[in-house]
Amino acid sequence: MRALWKEMSDQSQQPDSAAVFGAAVSLWQAVKKHAATTPTLNLSECYNGGDEFMRQVMRVATEFELWSCQHVFFEELDDVWPYLLEDRFGEACVSVLGGPETLLDFDTRNCLRVAHKLRLPLRTNSGLPVAIDVTAENPVAGAAFRKFRIQTVRDSLEDDFVEAFTTDDEPFDEELGAPYFGLYGIGDDDLLEHIADRATYSAAIELAGKLAPGIVFKTHPFFRGR
């Protein structure tokens, strides 16, 4: 399976019409299912006609596929991409949007939220507010820290408070600043000791390398959302 996705990823990750179709079918079915549970909801009225509803379904599916080609780490997928979307995209999308009548509200920010719901592996170097939490063994014998950890954190904009940015958090929280990277040491007691902060992941790796020559962090880590 991984070999198949490596072959596909080598093709510049062009949009896949099968993936768009799978996402559209899934979304169509999910919206119809949820609308059926609300007798007062008329999809034709919500979208100014059934044809416009179909256009919105296709727009959302196409936008998500285009976004995914830039941000999803396809090499780490365990499922066939079009089938994954057909099975799960629609429910995840309706959940993020809050209802079957809100397809018009779907935008690129919702692409990230849906990706979280689908637990997709996402690239960290694509400009997204992506949560990172990685640990590496210290190769220096006898050092005070057995491991080093790099984790994304964010500042509260209302008070002097720093909190971890995890995959369970809202990525576009307006009360929090942009994510940056904290470097921590881990001793024999397994407690974290804050060392420094850096603006980029690569800068945090560079600092860790100076403190522990030979330490190896993943150059391009990825995370799976909630």
Of 58 and 225, the one with more pLDDT: 58
Chain position carrying tokens 């995959």: 167
CA distances to 35, 50, 101 from 38, in Å: 5, 17, 11
Sign of CA dihedral 13, 129, 173, 84: positive
pLDDT in tens, 125-183: 667 888 889 999 999 999 999 999 999 999 999 888 999 998 778 889 999 999 999 99
Whether pTM exceeds 0.95: no
Question: Does residue 6 register a pLDDT over 80?
Answer: no
Rg for the chain, CA atoms, rounded: 21
Q: How far is Cα 50 from Cα 28, in angstroms, rounded to an integer?
A: 12
Question: Does residue 226 register a pLDDT over 80?
Answer: no
Under 8 Å between Cβ of 212 and 139: yes
pLDDT at 169: 86
Domain limits, the chain: 2-123, 133-217
pLDDT in tens, 177-204: 999 999 999 999 999 999 999 999 999 9
Contacts of 151 (CB under 8 A, 6+ apart): 132, 133, 134, 164, 165, 181, 182, 184
Share the mean pLDDT of the chain: 89
Contacts of 219 (CB under 8 A, 6+ apart): 205
Question: Does residue 4 register a pLDDT over 70?
Answer: no
Smallest CA-to-CA distance from 5 within 59, 54, 75 is with 75
pLDDT in tens, 13-53: 789 999 999 999 999 999 999 988 888 889 889 898 999 99
Of 105 and 12, the one with more pLDDT: 105
Q: Looking only at Cα atoms, what is the longest distance across the chain?
A: 71
Q: H or E stretch including 162?
A: strand 162-164
pLDDT in tens, 107-119: 999 999 999 889 8
